[in-house]
Amino acid sequence: MGNKCCSEYLDSEETENRTIMKESEKLSPDELIDHYAKHLPLVVKIQSKARSYIAQRKFRSKLMEYVQDRDRSNSEIQQNVSRNNTDSMNEDKRQEYYTNANHINLHHQEMGQAEEEKMYAGGKFQNSSNDMDQMNPVRFTSQYLNFYKESSTLSHMNNPKVIEVLNNVDNYRYLDSQTSSEREELISREPLEMPDGSIYEGQWSQDNKRHGRGKCIWKNGAVYEGNWENNFPEGHGRIIHEDGDMYEGFWRKGKAHGEGIFIKESGAKYFGIWINDKQNGYGKEKWTDGTKFEGLYVNGKKEGYGKLQWPDGSIYEGDFKNNIIDGYGKQKTANNSVYQGEWKDGKREGKGIFKWADGRQYEGEYKNDKKNGKGIFTYPNGERYEGEWFNGKQNGAGKLVKSDGTEQVGRWNMGNFIQQIHVEYSNLVEH
């Protein structure tokens, strides 16, 4: 896309994007997520068609600003609540509190990720000491694993993969604090078997719905602990699936919605925005072999601008479509060769420039990851071939300009010069 075309596109589309960003400044965190979900196709459209990083940068900046403000606020609230409530405990309760805390046998497995990942994988909020959340009305957190493993009513639900995860993460901690009036409005009950065979222990609303704080263990061993509203996980919570995969983050009506981290049983991780149980918006992904991705997602797939880095140090930055490199982008390989141009279905296709570390350069057309069509290949010694290519080799009419300036015009067949023609190269191409 030329500069003129790009400029004209941004004049119309970026104006609308600026309006979207301005509107978002007045929204609450929950409204902000929905706002970006509504306008996400436009953001991706600007990314892919205009090759503009403006929308992506503003998108990421706005979300990260919200993350930092909310985390700072939550941290301050937790510290104040923890300090005030532990000071108000009588001596017997305080002794019981610390005794129960000593029984906790769950250890957080160091993840080696950035602070933003630790925040949701059991790092940041798990480190505050004397937290009153350990003394919520349904005090099951400190003996969570024992409850899961030893209760006779749950013996048929024991799942080795879930138990392994529980052994390697900290106890779940609630991000918010319940006031005494909120606790009084809720009913706390012993573990209760639900119609689907799952076991729920926690708080209930006055109209007999799971509401407030609680945990649920399903027959296949999957377990959720966190906030509930009208019988659905709502707010912040953590689920460990029967296969050992874990999600911790925000929920809406039983689906992942908002910020959250997903850790597969294999160790692969995703941290970012979720909408309606799918990755949507800005996110980061890392695999166990060291491969990393950072960029935009739409409905659970990479879509729009993104950056992909392989274990050997190779990096691609550019467009993605339906989880595959597609559009316009730049790739730098481990040996410092660079390709910048058009892609289709994960392969170089269209016009592009490939520069090798030893000084070679090809500028022209590609098809199915190979030089195909018309192109110019320049050698380190200054020689240059200009002509037609097929399947990665000189094929058809072409001209070889040697380092001393002399020209050889003729025809090539799969990389071999077969016929010299004493005409101008331009006339040869025309015929």
CB burial of 35-52 (b: ≥16 within 10 Å; e: otherwise) equals bbbebbeebbebbbbbbb
Could you say which DSSP state residue 133 is in?
G
H/E stretch holding 375 reads strand 370-378
Rg (CA), the chain: 29
Q: How far is 424 from 422, CA to CA, in rounded Å?
A: 7
Q: How far is 86 from 67, CA to CA, in rounded Å?
A: 28
Question: SS3 for 1?
Answer: coil
268 close to 288: Cβ distance less than 8 angstroms: yes
pLDDT value of residue 193: 87
pLDDT value of residue 134: 29
Other Cβ atoms less than 10 A from the Cβ of 63: the count is 20
pLDDT value of residue 182: 82
Ramachandran sector of residue 84 (left: φ over 0; alpha: ψ -120 to 50; beta: rest)? alpha
H/E stretch holding 319 reads strand 315-321
Question: Where, residue-wise, is CATH 2.20.110.10 in the chain?
Answer: 335-430
pLDDT value of residue 92: 42
How confident is the model over 186-203, as pLDDT tens digits? 999 888 888 888 999 999
311: exposed, middle or buried (C-beta count within 10 Å: 0-12, 13-18, 19+)?
exposed
pLDDT value of residue 230: 94
CB burial of 371-383 (b: ≥16 within 10 Å; e: otherwise) equals bbebbbbbeeeee
pLDDT value of residue 78: 43
DSSP symbols for 325-352? EEEEEEEE-TTS-EEEEEEETTEEEEEE
How confident is the model over 259-298, as pLDDT tens digits? 999 999 999 999 999 999 999 999 999 999 999 999 999 9
How confident is the model over 70-92, as pLDDT tens digits? 455 544 544 443 343 333 334 34
Q: What is the pLDDT along the chain (431 residues), one digit of tens a residue?
A: 333 333 333 344 445 555 655 565 566 555 655 555 555 544 444 444 444 344 444 444 544 554 455 455 544 544 443 343 333 334 343 333 223 322 222 222 223 333 333 333 332 222 222 322 322 222 233 344 554 544 434 555 678 899 889 888 888 999 888 888 888 889 998 888 888 889 999 999 999 999 999 999 998 999 999 999 999 999 999 999 999 999 999 999 999 999 999 999 999 999 999 999 999 999 999 999 999 999 999 999 999 999 999 999 999 999 999 999 999 999 999 999 999 999 999 999 999 999 999 999 999 999 999 999 999 999 999 999 999 999 999 999 999 999 898 999 999 999 999 988 765 655 555 54
Question: SS3 for 363?
Answer: strand
Q: How far is 18 from 68, CA to CA, in rounded Å?
A: 22
- State CA 33 to chain mean position distance: 15
Nearest-CA neighbor of 46 among 69, 70, 12, 4?
12
pLDDT value of residue 287: 96
Q: Which two tokens stand for residue 157?
A: 């639900």
What topology does CATH give the domain 335-430? 2.20.110
DSSP symbols for 267-309? S-EEEEEEETTEEEEEEEEE-TTS-EEEEEEETTEEEEEEEEE
pLDDT value of residue 118: 32
